[in-house]
Amino acid sequence: SQLLSFFIATMKSVIFAAAIASAAAFAPAQVGKTTTSLNAFESELGAQAPLGFWDPLGFLDRADQETFDRLRYVELKHGRISQLAFLGQITTRAGYHLPGAIDGAGDSFADFPNGFAAIGGPDSIPGAGTGQILFFIGALELAVMKDVTGENEFVGDFRNGALDFGWDTFDEETKLSKRAIELNNGRAAMMGILGLMVHEQLGGSLPVVGEM
């Protein structure tokens, strides 16, 4: 269908752009390009072994603290979304789906394909269902997943004085360690979900994930 062709073309464009970005990331850095403002971020959370401070595309060459905080916020958000996306992929492909019907016709969640085909394929969920998903994500983005109360301890802290899970009982070293773990897991998940998107278009089978 035209919708499927559009989604496949869009996915190929995303994959191509990601490949170009990955190639640029391995380009040799220019000698002597380090500036005073860049040095200010070399000790920030996330500049850790084995790469240390790694900014091959030079986003921070002339950045101030506000710019860095914005980039860190975007990195955290994309990492969190990617972790959920990757977990969703391996869970549904393992055969686990929500119980009950997804629409008034009585179709179950398991009746629809896994991965991108669930919203962009010939057997995808109804358009109204996709619209509800997008509306829910928009509501989270605009009203929930943000610093509403102004009480954030760091960029990406969305507790808003309500959710804590014992965070305030940790010492500073433990807090930094857990934040670093989240960053690393998010970075790995971004690469992981991109890899799954590529293999979903290529087909075949993957360990743990199963048939694509």
Write out the two tokens for 78.
């994309």
pTM assigned to the model: 0.75
Given pLDDT bands bounded at 50, 70 and 90, which one contains residue 34?
Answer: very low
Distance CA 16, CA 80 (A): 23
What is the number of other CB atoms lying within 10 angstroms of the CB of residue 133? 13
More confident residue, 25 or 16: 16
Q: pLDDT at position 49, please?
A: 80
User: How far, in Å, CA of 4 to CA of 171, rounded?
Assistant: 51
Across 76-85, 108-117, 154-163, 201-210, least confident range:
201-210
Tokens encoding 83: 């972790």
Q: What whole-number distance in Å separates Cα of residue 110 and Cα of residue 99?
A: 8
> What are the tokens at 7?
């989604």
- The single-letter code of the amino acid at 154 is F
Q: Does residue 24 have a pLDDT over 60?
A: no
CA angle 39, 42, 44 (to 5 degrees): 130
Those residues with Cβ within 8 angstroms of residue 95's Cβ, 6 or more apart along the chain or in another chain: 110
Q: What pLDDT score does 26 carry?
A: 39
* More confidently predicted of 183 and 103: 183
